[in-house]
Amino acid sequence: MKRNRLHILIVEDDPSQGKSLVEAFTRAGYQATWCQSSVQALTQVQRAEFHALLVDCMLPKMNGVDLVEEILKMGVNKPKVFLFSGIFKDKKFIKESIERTGAMEFFDKPLDLQQVLARVEDALRSEALDDEPPLLSLYHAEPPTSGDLVRLIERESPMSSIHLPVIFRLLQKTQITGEMTLINAVGDMNTIGFWEGKIFSVRTPDKDSFFGGLAVSFGFVSPDDVMEALKSPSKGLIGQKLIQSFALSPHAIHVIMEEQLALRLSQTLHGGVVSLQWAPKKYATPDFALNPVRYESLATDWVHSKLTHDEIRSQLLLWGTFQMQGDFHRDLADDMSINDLMSHADFDDKRDLPYLFNNMIKGKATIGARGEETRNFVFLEGRLDKLLQDYKEQNFFQILGVGEKAQTNELNKAYAELKEYFDPDRLPKDCPPSLLVKCSKVFQQIQNAYETLSDDIRRNTYMLQQQNRRAQEMLEYEPVFRAAIIELQEGQAKEAAKKFQSLIDRKLEFRELKSYRIWAGLKCDRNFKDITLDQVPPEERHSAPYMMARGVYLKTRRQYQKALESFRSAHVLDPRLTAAKSEMKKLIAEAGKGNKDLLSEVTSVVENLFGKIGKRGA
């Protein structure tokens, strides 16, 4: 970290001494903040990250030693501590003070400013040399060891969930055994078990098994078999019922269970911020584990279905001056900084961001050393414009990149990182005035978010307002969602697609909304085909609306047999879905034109499910 980014807190009630210390450290190139009381100091620590504390032991109301202890409890980092006093010179007091605070030095007054400065500079030298964000090591050509990885997880938690795919991959490259706990922004807890690097257990709050849908998807059983098993009065899991009825071979169980594991792992990625904990554990050899090849395809799926372009771009731009290496673009091969890559004329967000980040997860694209900072003011201004636009739709938690249960230390850490990049005081002196104005607007939003969430009363009020707004929006737009579903099933696909899209634009989280939107879009003109099947998260691909969307897609490609299977699965998953019956009847007419065998099968399936078709047919 550069010296001008190192921040020193000076707590001294003597104005002349305080000013002298601030001037000395400012001239040396550091940031320095001076407080005359413990109350002021505690307020400052809540607002910013400090790398060193220089504290007088004799302060009004709270002595310096107690103050330092209180600060160390609050901060996310561990600042270097220096104490001084003109009154407390007893050796026993000095020894106890150092033991309680971990102070590196205890200076006597009157202070020798050069001696103090030299000692602090020496202590901060390692900080000044540490010019790389710790999480960057996840994407190096030489990956971290298992020990380094565990220490990184413990030290950098909480972190953006965008890093989970690469953490899962790196853990699988090790021989480590233990359990990782993930707690997302809304407090949901997930646990992942690793045995010698292999993922063999995933527990999530969602109790859905996916078993029936997976058994049908793999072709192990028919939808009719699943329906019979569900109707069976015998007790037991659906898998056991299928085996008992000889509909499912026992060897298929492990295949389905591995896919269950993959889907539950996918459920752990909710977006936003996640807290991680690692605990070593001993396990017996598991019966099955997630195949690394299956994990590779699953991670690729996540990039398209669970990570947004904005999330990827925002994370990478925090590392803008570092060099991209390896296979990071389809056409560009020479190493270049992330900023230069993102602003290149041949770089297209929609096409290239998924390709880039997918290769970073797989280790094919890596991040190298920091390059020289460039002054691409056009690029910086474009980035600020995008942030200002995003902030219009984001709440304060999203602006800071923290969860709704974020603690003080998490807020401090998030604010310090954003301040490092968006504080207008750190812009080059020759930057355009328009850039300074936009940067000031962005930083003002960040400060507003931090000051609101750092104050318990203001935060509670704000959260209540947000909860009421979300509840009101969901209540207000639920009739729109229900009306769109009815329109879709009644054949009014274009009107339904418009309604579904309006709900997506408002970022409302109705269950299976994206699947309904794809289903409706496929029934309309091309203006509604921008959302595709691969954008539905893997764990949501075993619902009736998704199967309907998949069936319509396959039918448009004249893959009638597969379309039939999808419509049958949709009916099994939701027998009330009359559209499945309608689509299968339509297949009689469309498939029968050139395929008598398929016509016979479709007719048989429809009649078995719904009875004989009358003279009017479909």
Q: What is the tally of structural domains in the chain?
A: 3
Whether 274 and 145 map to the same domain: the answer is yes
pLDDT in tens, 252-293: 777 888 888 888 999 898 777 888 999 999 899 998 899 888
Across the chain, mean pLDDT equals: 84
Question: Other C-beta atoms within 10 Å of 161: how many?
Answer: 23
- DSSP letters, 245-307, are TTSS-TTHHHHHHHHHHHHHHHHT--SSEEEEEEEE---PPPS----HHHHHHHHHHHHHHTS
Whether 17 and 122 map to the same domain: the answer is yes
Whether 72 and 164 map to the same domain: the answer is no
Q: Once rounded to an integer, what is the mean pLDDT over residues 19-48?
A: 87
Q: Is residue 340 a part of any domain in this protein?
A: no
Q: Is residue 82 a part of any domain in this protein?
A: yes
| Model confidence band, residue 366 (pLDDT cutoffs 50, 70, 90) | very high
pLDDT in tens, 67-88: 999 888 876 567 899 999 988 7
Whether 142 and 219 map to the same domain: the answer is yes
pLDDT of residue 12: 93
Q: What is the CA radius of gyration of the chain?
A: 30
Query: Looking at the predicted structure, is the pLDDT value of residue 128 above 70?
Result: no
Whether 202 and 71 map to the same domain: the answer is no
Q: Is residue 268 a part of any domain in this protein?
A: yes
Query: Which among 94, 112, 129 is the end of a domain?
Result: 129
Whether 104 and 146 map to the same domain: the answer is no
The SS3 call for residue 5 is helix
Cα separation, 181 vs 278, whole angstroms: 6
What Å distances lie between residue 203 and 13, 277, 300, 402, 573, CA to CA?
A: 54, 15, 22, 23, 23
Cα separation, 447 vs 310, whole angstroms: 21
Q: Which of the listed ranges 232-241, 376-385, 540-549 does the model predict with the highest average pLDDT?
A: 540-549
Cα separation, 439 vs 79, whole angstroms: 29
The residue with greater pLDDT, 528 or 519, is 519
CATH of the domain at 110: 3.40.50.2300
Whether 17 and 113 map to the same domain: the answer is yes
Do the beta carbons of residue 86 and residue 109 sit within 8 Å? yes
Phi and psi at residue 364, to the nearest 5°: -80, -30
Q: Is residue 453 a part of any domain in this protein?
A: no
Q: Is residue 61 a part of any domain in this protein?
A: yes
Length of the chain: 618
Whether 223 and 293 map to the same domain: the answer is yes
Query: Which among 109, 129, 149 is the end of a domain?
Result: 129
524: left (phi over 0), alpha (psi -120 to 50) or beta: beta
The SS3 call for residue 323 is strand
Tokens of 556: 């448009």
Whether 57 and 171 map to the same domain: the answer is no
Whether 159 and 274 map to the same domain: the answer is yes
Query: Which among 258, 275, 303 is the end of a domain?
Result: 303
pLDDT of residue 58: 87
Cα separation, 124 vs 77, whole angstroms: 13
Q: Is residue 427 a part of any domain in this protein?
A: no
| Candidate from 3-7, 360-364, 494-498, 538-542 with smallest mean pLDDT | 3-7
pLDDT of residue 606: 58
Evaluate if pTM is beyond 0.75.
no
Query: Looking at the predicted structure, is the pLDDT value of residue 572 above 70?
Result: yes
Q: Which domain holds residue 584?
A: 544-571+578-618
- DSSP letters, 562-613, are HHHHHHHHHHHH-TT-HHHHHHHHHHHHHHTTT-HHHHHHHHHHHHHHH---
DSSP state of 308: -
Whether 150 and 94 map to the same domain: the answer is no
Cα separation, 190 vs 507, whole angstroms: 24
Whether 64 and 151 map to the same domain: the answer is no
Question: Can you list the positions of beta strands (E) in 315-417?
Answer: 322-326, 336-337, 365-370
pLDDT in tens, 165-195: 999 999 999 889 999 999 887 778 999 999 9
∠ CA 133-442-403, nearest 5°, is 60
The residue among 437, 419, 331 whose CA lies nearest residue 380 is 437
Cα separation, 532 vs 517, whole angstroms: 9
Q: Is residue 362 a part of any domain in this protein?
A: no
Tokens of 442: 């962005």
Question: Other C-beta atoms within 10 Å of 437: how many?
Answer: 12
Query: Looking at the predicted structure, is the pLDDT value of residue 616 above 50?
Result: no
Q: Is residue 263 a part of any domain in this protein?
A: yes
- DSSP letters, 198-256, are EEEEEE-S-----HHHHHHHTTSS-HHHHHHHHH--S-S-HHHHHHHTTSS-TTHHHHH
User: Residue by residue, what is the 3-state secondary structure of 332-352?
Assistant: CCCCEEHHHHHCCCCCCHHHH
**Cβ neighbours of residue 607 under 8 Å, at least 6 residues apart?**
613
